[in-house]
Amino acid sequence: MNAHKPERVLKRPLLVSATATLVLFGVFAVLISSRIQQNLASERLGEYNSVISFQSEIEELLFTNVQRLEGFRAWLELNEGPDSPGTREFLDKLLQGQEGNIRSVSVIEDTTIVWTYPRRGNEGAIGNNLALVPQQRISVLYVKETGKAAITEPVNLLQGGRGLIVRSPIQVNGEYWGQLGIVLDAGQVFRQIDTRGEEMGIEYALFLKEKFPEESFYGDAGILDRDPLVAEIGILNASWSLALMPEDGWSNQAPSSILSGVAALLLSLGFGFLMYLLLSTRSRLREQAIFDALTGLHSRGYFVSYSSTLIARAEREKSAFALVLLDVNNLKPVNDNYGHKAGDMVLRSIGYLLKKNCRSSEAAFRTGGDEFMLLLSDISTEDELNLAMKRFRKELKFPLKFNGVQVTVSVSMGAALFPRDGSSIGELTDAADTRMYRDKREQKQESGITGSE
C-alpha cells in the first residue's frame, strides 16, 4: 500500500486547475458553437421557404408545357393526325402567349420527325431520325420503350440553338406509333427563372442528379463551395438537383464568434486561476497536516488514519503486517555539542534514507522528536520481519561530519506483528516499544552517536 496515493491529485493543483480551465473552455466552445449552429440553422430554415417557392416555379413552368403537349395529343387522337384541318389554328390558340418560350411542336413517327409547327425555321428537322442524334437518342428511346413522357436536359437542336424538349408517346390501337415533342427555348426559360431568382434575392445552379456535384447544366457549379441548400426536382423521367443560397451569401458569424470565444477564454482563465489558488492553499494545509515539514515523511496524524485503514484491510483479508518503532540513538548529545541544526540534519538524513528504502508496500512516519515508525504490509512471518529490520538497520547506520568531527548515526528498533502481538495500534506500539528499549539496552556498550577527530 502506497501512503502517497491519497494526495496525488492535491499535489498537482496547477495540473488540476489547467485541466479544469481547458474543460470549462471546451464547454464554452461547445455552447458557442451550438449557438452559432442554431443561428445558421434558423437562417437556413428560413431560406428553405425560398427553396420550396423557387422549386415550385421551375416545376410549374415545365409542367405547364407538359399539359399543353397532352392537350395536343388529345386533339390528334380526335382529328386523325396533324394534317387534319384546323390543327395549326388549334396550336395557335394552345400556345398563345408562349411564342417566346416554345420554339416548335413536332410529330415523330417511330423515332423520325415527320411534322413540325411552325414549319418555318424548322424545316431542317423534318426527316431526321432522332435515335441517331447523340444528345436526343436517350430520351427518344426512353419514350418508345417505356411508353412514358420524358424531358431532356438542355440539348443542341437540329434547327440550331439549345432547347429543353418534352416528349410524350402516341399510341394507335394500343401500340406505340410515335411521339409528340415540344421544344422549349432553353435561353428564354432560364431567363424567366433568373428573373424570379433575382426577385427572391437568390442565386442557384441546376445539375442532372447523376452528374451532381461535378457538372451543372445551368448556373455556376462553384456555388457548392459556399454551402448552399440542395433540393431535388423530379420532372417526368428527369431528376435535377437544385443548389440555392442567398445572393449575398450566408450571414457572417465570425465577429460574434470571436468575441464570444475571447469572453469564454477570459472566464475560463479566471476560473482556472481561482481554482489554482484554492487547490494550492488546500494542498499546503493538507500537506502540513499529513507531512512532517523537517523530514518530508508522513506525520503522526496521518499515521493514525493510515494504520486504521491497514488494520481494517488486514482483518478483512485475514492478512498480517508489521509495525516497526525506531528511535535515534543519543540525538541529545548532538544537539548539545553541535547545535540544533546538526540534530535537524540527522533527522533529515534519517527521513531521506527511510523514504529511499521504503518499498511500495511500506510506509514511513515521523511520530515524535527522534521517533519514527514503519508500517510493513507485506510482512507475515518473523523471518520476513527480521530480514526487513536488518535491511533498514544497515541503511540507518551512517557517518556525518559536524565542524570537522565525524559522528556515526544509528537507531534502536523494535517491532510487532499484527495480529500476533496485538489487535490494535496501541497494543502493537506497546509491544514494539518494549522491544525497542531492549534493543537500546543491548547497544549500551557502544554509543549510538560517537565522535572522533
User: Residue 311 corresponds to which cell in the numbers above?
Assistant: 488494520
266 three-state secondary structure: helix
Rounded to whole angstroms, the Cα distance separating 319 from 158 reads 101
With beta carbons less than 8 A apart as the criterion, state whether 335 and 405 touch. Answer: no
φ, ψ of residue 174 to 5 degrees: the values are 80, 0
Strands 162-172 and 216-219: unpaired
Q: Is 316 exposed, middle or buried (0-12, 13-18, 19+ CB in 10 A)?
A: exposed
| Cα-trace Rg, the chain | 49
User: Residue 86 corresponds to which cell in the numbers above?
Assistant: 384546323
With beta carbons less than 8 A apart as the criterion, state whether 345 and 400 touch. Answer: yes
292 is catalytic: no
With beta carbons less than 8 A apart as the criterion, state whether 151 and 159 touch. Answer: no
In DSSP terms, 115 is beta-bridged to 107
Q: Which entry of 292, 370, 421, 439 is annotated as an active-site residue?
A: 370
Rounded to whole angstroms, the Cα distance separating 33 from 312 reads 51
In DSSP terms, 418 is beta-bridged to 321
φ, ψ of residue 186 to 5 degrees: the values are -60, -40
Closest CA to 41 of 257, 255, 264, 251: 251
Rounded to whole angstroms, the Cα distance separating 332 from 293 reads 20
- Per-residue burial over 87-103, b if 16 or more Cβ lie within 10 Å, else e, is beebbeebbeeeeebbb
Other Cβ atoms closer than 10 A to 267: 14
- Per-residue burial over 393-403, b if 16 or more Cβ lie within 10 Å, else e, is eeebeeebebe
* CA dist 441 → 237, 292, 299, 334, 385 (Å): 110, 29, 27, 20, 21
Residue type, 203: E
Other Cβ atoms closer than 10 A to 22: 12
* Residues with active-site annotation: 370
